[in-house]
A = this chain, B = another copy of it.
Amino acid sequence: MVQLDDLDRAILRILKEDARLTISEIAERLNRPESTIHFRIKKLQERGIIGKYTIVLGEDLQPKALAIVYIQAETPIIEDFLERYIRHIMKTLSLLPNVLTVARSGKDGVVALVGEESPEKLNRFVDETIKVLPTLKRVEVIPIDEFGKGSGLVGFLVGV
């Protein structure tokens, strides 16, 4: 199992806020020697607790209108067809730049997080790209109007 002490957690929280702080700065904030911070971070990386370092893009590049789209396919006679059809939908959606996330939901479902410049474009996208997919039992669109927690995820997901 994963064992983290207070120092590890403190370091992780600081890096989450700003991964570009230097070891010396972190050391200063936590009142520890640089070599200790360096050692801990190295271990956290080796243990895979720090998965990777990345950037979050700013608001200018983020889509202004977001929605979660839940798709449910009709259950066909042949079970194997459903499986391949779901995979196909996921693959297709994944290739679109305005589809930020694609995930499977149960045997016959797919959820996607979709972003567009405006609510109108978003609706059009859903109508013209998703609702036209054949043999869908259900398409549910859940608009996202304002984040209360985790708003950073858009800048994290959006591509260039």
Contacts and interface: CB of A to CB of B under 8 A. Distances in A.
Integer count of this chain's copies in the complex: 2
Given A2-B60, A9-B160, A68-B68, A149 B54 contact: no
Contacts of A49: 57-58, 60-61
A140 B50 CA distance: 33
Contacts of A61: 2, 49
Interface residues of A, number: 62
A149 B52 contact: no
Interface in A27-69: 47-61, 68
9 contacts: A16-B160, A17-B54, A19-B20, A50-B55, A51-B55, A54-B56, A93-B149, A102-B149, A156-B156
